[in-house]
Structure formats: structure tokens, C-alpha cells
Chains A and B, each alone.
Chain A
Amino acid sequence: MLRVEGLGKRYGKHWALRRASFEIRRGEAVGLLGANGAGKSTLIKCLLGLLRPSEGQVHLAVEASYLPEQPQLPGALSPLAMLRFKCAARNWPEEWAESALQASGLAQAAWERPLRQCSKGMQQRVLIAWTLCGPDSKLMLLDEPMSGLDALGRAEILSLLQARKDAGAAILMCSHIVPDMVRLCDRVLLISGGLIREEIALSDHSLVEAEMLEESLVRWQ
């Protein structure tokens, strides 16, 4: 669904991302793990064309839905209005907006409430709904999707993403939260200083693997 070959992004003389190559197949979840400034968000933005890559190529087989890291949502509008806009723009049935909000776990009472009155966690769920809205089998690029969610919320969203993955969606997720990655992802790309240093396959999604990931993260700091 996604193939990346030698992708790089340079700002002046500084390379924020260099020689990134990997592939994500249908029904696979891949994690991008790294410290702040490691190049995770740069990589995702290059995939979407928000940043112009300085080198390399991106091959997208399907359309990608994107969840940016902590954007400020239009406060005057309601979650439903936002999702309806996406459906109208794509000529999708309006009911898909409601289904996505339902799936995100956002309480129905908040659907018509102005976004400025929604808590950070609720807004994060709206963003999740934004990403979920659309056909099942697609590519999801998620930049810190668990940001602002409590433990229960994180568990719910992870189950939701797992269900999407089982339905054939491919997921690329950036996060600092190692246990979340271990629970969802099949592979983790460890990124540091703009380079993908290691690719770690996760087989049993256990605590041992979480510890192993944390050790690798510390090693590459």
C-alpha cells in the first residue's frame, strides 16, 4: 500500500530526514518511534506531500487519511459539521460522518457542540473520527494519535485501530508511547537524527518486547 525509497528532507545544510526506505502492506501496522526532533513528523509530512522531499520517492497505492499532531480545530464548528464537510468534499454519504463519530467513541451529546467547548480528549476523538471517516481499506497516517487521551480512551482507540487493521487498513503511527506501539504494531521503525536506525519486528506484543523497544530507543538517543 505504501512504498518509500530513499526519502530525505533537507533544510539548508541540515538533513531532517535521510535515506528512509520501507514498505507497508495491506492490514499491517507500522510504528515510528523516536525522540522529539528525530524526524518522525517530517517523514509523515513528506509522505503526504505537505513537505517537498529533497530526495527519494513515495509510492502510494491507495489514498491516505492523515491525523496531524495536535492541530487547533475550528472552534466555532461542531464535530459533525467537520465530518460532514469531509463527506461532502468526497461525495460520500453523510451517514459516514455519523458512523465515524460513533466509532471514535465521542459521546453523541458532543456531536453538535462547538469544538471550542470540547475538551482536548474529545477533540482528539474528533480527529480520530476524521481519520476513520471513509472506506475501510485504506492507509492511515497517524501523528501522535493518543495525544491528550486518558488510559481508557487510549485503549478504546487502540481497539478501534486494531479493528481497522483487521479490515485491511494499513497504519503508520508515530508515537512516544511504547506500550501503545507494542499493542498495535507489527513492526517498529526506530528513527534518530533523521535516519531509520533499526527495524524491529513485534511478534507476541508482550512486555518483554516493550522493554526491548525502550532499550533500543535509549541506545539510539
Chain B
Amino acid sequence: MNAAMALIRFTFAEVFHHRAYQLMMLACLLLPWLMLVPMSLFLLDLGKVLADLLFTVEHMLMAGFVFFMALPLMARDIEQKICHLLLSVPLKRSTYLLSRYFGMSAAMLPLMGLLLLSSAAVFVFVAYQWPDYTTMDLAWHVPLGEMLLLLPYLALLGVLFLIVVFASGSSESMVFLFSVWLLSWAVPPVLEALMRPEVATKMPHGLFVLVQGLEYILPDLTSAKLSLDIAHAQWPPPDMLWAYVCEHFSYAAIALIVAMLRFERKDLA
């Protein structure tokens, strides 16, 4: 347990001291304020527009963290023998992977916290400055929606670990992770469209079952709709919310378990 906690702290410190991470923290503080510029182009409810823009910013930052901080760190660990050093402490291989995962997940929280704080300040500013254009109240559903958006990136982080233990290096990991990310954004909406009654009735039964199966199995990491609905105070049924939370934790858990099984048997040359 000590070793695991020590590696979680070590991973967090490693990410935290990285200059790129410090720039991301600065971006979390500044970007919500910069969003005031594009927001002013819309003659709509400014609060709603701002919520939408903040979600875009959050997607960018979290994806940036996974692709440009977590991926290079893990790929380098395996490629450049840092994991040999860490495993020689000694640490179990599964402890090493899990601690690295939790350390990196923990490093996402300060980014999230800063973004939430800065967003809240911007909301207050907008509501005070332009009350006539702001009907959306500042209730807790906006931060909740923003926090739920973190789950797909925790799942993506799990997938990253799975890819890294199989891949031969950072370039290969980058290509595969990008493909997973792209597919998990692009395919689910298409499958959802195919499942609509007007399309489904014209489809052969076998194909429909296949599409339905794919729709259930394939990860939907966009999460944009559900968390954005919540941010706009449009509550989904509770079972849908639970399914969303469980789905993403399950993706992360499955990816990590397979990664651990592979890593246990991997030759670290």
C-alpha cells in the first residue's frame, strides 16, 4: 500500500512539475474569461452560450492532457526503461500500472477544479454585467455537468494504458489512441441514427441485431449530450445517469484489467 501511494504521489508530482501542465493550469484559469469574446457574438441567453463554450474548452483541455501529458509519460516509461527503475523498488507490475493510472487521474482534478472556479467567476460576472441577457441561473447543475464530462476522459486514460502496454512505442500508441478517440466520437451517433424506427424498419433483421449489438458494446466517449443537458438543467432519468457513470467506470476498469494481464506477461526488454 505504501509503495502504491508513494507512486501515486510521485506520478502526480511528475505531472505537476511539468511545464506543459502548469501552462494547462493557467489555461484553465484564463480560457473561461477568453470565452467572453466569442460569447458576445451571440444575441442569445449568454449563460447558456457560455456553458456550451466552457464544455468545448473542457473537452479540449482534457483531451490535451490525455494525449500530450499522459501518453508521452507512459510511453516513455516503457520505451526508455523508467519502469525498470520503478519496478526495481520493488513494485508489483499491477501496482505500478494502477498507481500510474490513479496518479494521472489525480492530476486531472486540479485542472478541473481551476476550470470550475474560473467558470463560476465568469458566470457571476456575466450575470452581474448583463442581467437582461442572462436567464440561466447559476445553480449547481453547471459544475455537475462539467464534472461528469471528466468520466469519458478517465475511461480514455484507461484505454491509453491498455494501448501503451501492447504498443511498441509512443508513435504507435498515439495512432491507436487517436483512432479509438475518433471512433468513439464518430461511430456511436451513426449507430444511434441507424437504430431510429424509420431506418430500423427498412433494415434486414440480422443487420439490425448486429447494429444493436455494436451500439451496446462500442464505447461512447463523447458524453456531450448527457452532461450538457444536465448543465442546462434538463435532467435525464436517474437510471440513465447511473448507466452513464457505471458505463465509463466499467470501460476504465476493463481496459485496466486487460492492460494488467498483458503487462504481467510482457518482456520488458
CB within 8 Å of B: which residues of A? 42, 45, 48, 50-52, 63-66, 68-74, 76-77, 81, 85-86, 88-91, 114, 127, 130
Distance of A187 from chain B, by nearest CB (Å): 24
Chain B residues within 8 Å of A68, by CB: 81, 84-85, 88
Residue from B6, B18, B81, B91 within 8 A of A76 (CB atoms)? B18
> Contact between B88 and A74 (Cβ–Cβ < 8 Å)?
no
Distance of B192 from chain A, by nearest CB (Å): 42
> Contact between B269 and A45 (Cβ–Cβ < 8 Å)?
yes
CB within 8 Å of A: which B17-75 residues: 17-19
Distance of A91 from chain B, by nearest CB (Å): 5
The answer, yes or no, to whether B14 is at the interface (CB within 8 Å) is yes
Chain A residues within 8 Å of B82, by CB: 71-74
> Contact between A89 and B3 (Cβ–Cβ < 8 Å)?
yes
Residue from B5, B6, B80, B87 within 8 A of A50 (CB atoms)? B87
Chain A residues within 8 Å of B91, by CB: 89
- A70–B90 alpha-carbon span in the complex (Å): 19
Distance of A39 from chain B, by nearest CB (Å): 12
Q: 20 more A-B contacts (CB under 8 A) besides A63-B90, A85-B7? A: A48-B87, A50-B268, A50-B269, A51-B268, A51-B269, A52-B265, A66-B88, A68-B84, A71-B82, A71-B84, A73-B82, A76-B14, A76-B17, A76-B18, A85-B9, A88-B6, A89-B6, A90-B2, A90-B3, A91-B2
> Contact between B6 and A77 (Cβ–Cβ < 8 Å)?
no
Distance of B181 from chain A, by nearest CB (Å): 25
> Contact between A77 and B13 (Cβ–Cβ < 8 Å)?
yes
Distance of A32 from chain B, by nearest CB (Å): 17
| A63 closest partner in B (C-beta) | B90
Residue from A52, A72, A89, A114 within 8 A of B81 (CB atoms)? A72
Chain B residues within 8 Å of A74, by CB: 14, 82
- A71–B83 alpha-carbon span in the complex (Å): 9
- A51–B265 alpha-carbon span in the complex (Å): 9
CB within 8 Å of A: which residues of B? 2-3, 5-7, 9-10, 13-14, 17-19, 76, 80-82, 84-85, 87-91, 265, 267-269
Chain A residues within 8 Å of B88, by CB: 48, 64-66, 68
| B99 closest partner in A (C-beta) | A89
- A88–B10 alpha-carbon span in the complex (Å): 10
Query: Could you jot down 30 A-B contacts, CB within 8 Å?
Result: A48-B87, A50-B84, A50-B267, A50-B268, A51-B268, A64-B88, A66-B84, A66-B85, A66-B88, A68-B85, A68-B88, A70-B81, A72-B80, A73-B82, A73-B85, A74-B14, A74-B82, A76-B17, A76-B18, A77-B14, A77-B17, A81-B10, A85-B6, A86-B89, A89-B2, A89-B6, A89-B7, A89-B91, A114-B17, A130-B85
| B22 closest partner in A (C-beta) | A76
Distance of A58 from chain B, by nearest CB (Å): 14
- A201–B163 alpha-carbon span in the complex (Å): 47
Chain B residues within 8 Å of A50, by CB: 84, 87, 267-269
Chain B CB within 10 Å — which of A48, A66, A85 has the most? A85
Chain B CB within 10 Å — which of A66, A74, A88, A90 has the most? A74
Chain A CB within 10 Å — which of B81, B89, B91 has the most? B89
> Contact between B13 and A81 (Cβ–Cβ < 8 Å)?
yes
Chain A CB within 10 Å — which of B7, B9, B265, B267 has the most? B267
Distance of A142 from chain B, by nearest CB (Å): 12
Chain B residues within 8 Å of A81, by CB: 10, 13
Chain A CB within 10 Å — which of B5, B76, B84 has the most? B84
> Contact between A52 and B267 (Cβ–Cβ < 8 Å)?
yes
- A77–B87 alpha-carbon span in the complex (Å): 18
> Contact between B81 and A85 (Cβ–Cβ < 8 Å)?
no
Chain A residues within 8 Å of B85, by CB: 66, 68, 71, 73, 127, 130
| B77 closest partner in A (C-beta) | A74
| A70 closest partner in B (C-beta) | B81
Chain B residues within 8 Å of A114, by CB: 17
| A65 closest partner in B (C-beta) | B88
Distance of A55 from chain B, by nearest CB (Å): 15
Distance of A199 from chain B, by nearest CB (Å): 26
Q: Knowing A51-B268, A52-B267, A71-B84, say if A85 contacts B17 (CB, 8 Å).
A: no
Distance of A16 from chain B, by nearest CB (Å): 9
Chain A residues within 8 Å of B13, by CB: 77, 81
- A39–B231 alpha-carbon span in the complex (Å): 60
- A77–B17 alpha-carbon span in the complex (Å): 7
- A74–B81 alpha-carbon span in the complex (Å): 11
